[in-house]
Amino acid sequence: MTHTINHQGNRVLPRFLTVLVPLIALAACNLTEPAELRTGADAQQFPLQANWSASATPIGTSSLRANLTIKQYQGFRMDATAQFTGAPNTTYQWRIFRGDCSVTTVAASNTAPTGLLVFATTQSYPDIVTDASGVITINRTIAGVLDSLKQYSLRARVFATGGWNGTSPVACGNLQRAAGP
């Protein structure tokens, strides 16, 4: 192979090789396949790690009730199903917060050991609107893993503008982890 000498006196590979080598490497990749492909017996989801549930009851004069079930999978993912029953044609906001229903103060920071702190991101919890009979069922996939050593609660309120820190809910229920996966 012939090398070229650059102006600093160093030997360099011919220019066509600097283009050819990456092209060969790229051609060896199959770009039509997903990053991970599961087939046959491996085609199932990631293993189930835990089941969680909560039954939120009304607070004060509210009529809102909710039932939440969560399947927590290995791989930082949870599938949540929630059914809300409340006033007809009403918009509600809902969230999972660290802290059980007895907690009424907001966490001082994301690393504070106590206080209410929203689990995951607010984008995980779209506003919901009940139908004419006052019911709505939603399914959500939420990124994250609930810590079995911490308390969590499902909280809801009637829609209001601005952020919500979990205080003054109209319904609340503590999450319970079922024994085993």
Angle at 79 between CA 74 and CA 80, to 5 degrees: 140
What pLDDT is recorded for position 38? 46
- Average pLDDT (83-104) is 98
- Residue 96 in any domain: the answer is yes
Q: What average pLDDT does this structure show over 146-164?
A: 95
Q: Is residue 81 part of a domain?
A: yes
Look up residue 116 and give its DSSP letter.
Answer: B
Whole-angstrom CA distances from 123 to 30, 91, 114, 119 are 34, 16, 23, 11
Is the separation of the CB atoms in 127 and 92 below 8 Å? yes
3-state secondary structure 60-111: CCCCCEEEEEEEEECCCEEEEEEEEECCCCCEEEEEEEECCCCCCCECCCCC
Closest to 126 (Cα-Cα) out of 170, 94, 79, 150: 94
Assigned domain for 115 exists: yes
pLDDT band for position 102 (50/70/90)? very high
pLDDT at residue 8 greater than cutoff 90 = no
**pLDDT band, residue 26 (cuts 50/70/90):** low
- Is 134 part of any domain? yes
pLDDT of residue 46: 87
- pLDDT for 45 equals 67
164 within some domain: yes
pLDDT at 153 over 70: yes
Domain that residue 156 falls in: 46-177
Q: What average pLDDT does range 27-38 have in this prediction?
A: 48
* Residue 104 maps to a domain: yes
pLDDT at 43: 46
Predicted confidence (pLDDT) per residue in 104-113, tens digit: 999 999 999 9
pLDDT digits over 119-139, tens only?
Answer: 999 999 999 999 999 999 999
Extract the tokens encoding 42: 């491996």
Average pLDDT, the chain: 86
> Based on the structure, what is the number of domains in the chain?
1
pLDDT of residue 139: 98
List the CATH number of the domain containing 80: 2.60.40.200
Q: pLDDT above 90 covers what percent of the chain?
A: 71
